[in-house]
Amino acid sequence: MTDHIAISKASYSDRGASTSETAVAPSRKATGSHYTPEGLADFVAEQIYGARDEKQSGNTTKILDPAVGDGELLRSILKVAKQNHHTNLQVFGFETTCEALDAAKQRLQREFPCAAITLTHGDFLEFVLQNYGASPNGGLFQQLSQPEFDLIIANPPYVRTQVMGAKQAQRLAQEFGLSGRVDLYYAFILGMGRALRPGGIAGIIVSNRFMTTKSGHDVRLSILDNFDVLHVWDLGDTRLFEAAVLPAVLLLRKKTEGLLPPGPRFTSIYSTQRTNSSTACEDCVSALSKTGVVRLRDGQSFLVRRGRLDCGLKPGEVWRIATEDSDAWLSKVAANTSGTFRDIGRTRVGVKTTADHVFIRSDWEDMPESERPELLKPLATHHIARRFRAVCPERPKQIVYPHHTVDGKRSAVNLGEFPQTARYLNSFRPLLERRRYVAEAGRAWFEIWVPQDPDSWSKPKIVFRDIAQTPTFWMDLQGCVVNGDCYWLACERPEQIDLLWLALAVANSTFVEAYYDHRFHNKLYAGRRRFMTQYVEKFPLPNPSNALARKIIVAAKQIYDLTPSPEAEHLEQELDKMVWQAFDVSPEEVVR
Contacts of 58 (CB under 8 A, 6+ apart): 150
C-alpha separations of 228 from 137, 240, 499 in Å: 27, 27, 43
- pLDDT reported for residue 141: 40
The pLDDT of residue 355 is above 70: yes
The pLDDT of residue 143 is above 50: no
**What's 138's DSSP letter?**
-
DSSP string, 315-339: TTPPPEEE-HHHHHHHHHHHHT--E
Angle between helices 510-519 and 497-507 (to 10 degrees): 80
∠ CA 141-144-146, nearest 5°, is 105
User: Closest Cα partner for 82 from 106, 114, 53?
Assistant: 114
What integer best gives the mean pLDDT of the chain? Answer: 86
C-alpha separations of 333 from 86, 234, 513, 579 in Å: 51, 25, 13, 11
Model confidence band, residue 492 (pLDDT cutoffs 50, 70, 90): confident
DSSP string, 491-535: -SSGGGHHHHHHHHHHHTSHHHHHHHHHHT--B-GGG-EE--HHH
- For the chain, how big is the Rg over CA atoms in Å? 27
Q: Where are the domains of the chain?
A: 25-256, 332-344+493-592, 346-490
Cα separation, 169 vs 164, whole angstroms: 6
User: Closest Cα partner for 249 from 520, 24, 46?
Assistant: 46
The pLDDT of residue 456 is above 90: yes
Start-to-end CA distance of the chain, whole Å, equals 50
Residues 414, 374 contacting (CB under 8 angstroms): no
The pLDDT of residue 140 is above 80: no
Cα separation, 221 vs 243, whole angstroms: 27
Cα separation, 212 vs 230, whole angstroms: 19
Contacts of 190 (CB under 8 A, 6+ apart): 176, 177, 178, 219, 222, 226
pTM here is 0.76
Model confidence band, residue 526 (pLDDT cutoffs 50, 70, 90): low
Residue 254, φ and ψ in degrees, nearest 5: -65, 130
C-alpha separations of 232 from 10, 235, 250 in Å: 31, 9, 5
- pLDDT reported for residue 468: 86
**What's 183's DSSP letter?**
-
Contacts of 573 (CB under 8 A, 6+ apart): none
The pLDDT of residue 581 is above 90: yes
- pLDDT reported for residue 276: 74
Q: Which residue has the higher pLDDT, 447 or 135?
A: 447
- pLDDT reported for residue 155: 92
Torsion angle in degrees (nearest 10) through CA of 85, 88, 92, 93: 10
Model confidence band, residue 131 (pLDDT cutoffs 50, 70, 90): confident
Model confidence band, residue 326 (pLDDT cutoffs 50, 70, 90): confident
**Alpha helices, H only, 245-297:** 284-287
Q: Are strands 149-154 and 61-65 parallel, antiparallel or unpaired?
A: parallel
Model confidence band, residue 180 (pLDDT cutoffs 50, 70, 90): low
Q: What would the pLDDT profile of 426-441 be if each residue is shown by its tens digit? A: 999 999 999 999 999 9
Q: What would the pLDDT profile of 4-15 be if each residue is shown by its tens digit? A: 323 333 334 334
Q: Are strands 280-281 and 292-296 parallel, antiparallel or unpaired?
A: parallel
Pick the CATH number of 25-256 from 3.40.50.150, 3.10.580.10, 2.30.30.90, 3.40.50.1950: 3.40.50.150
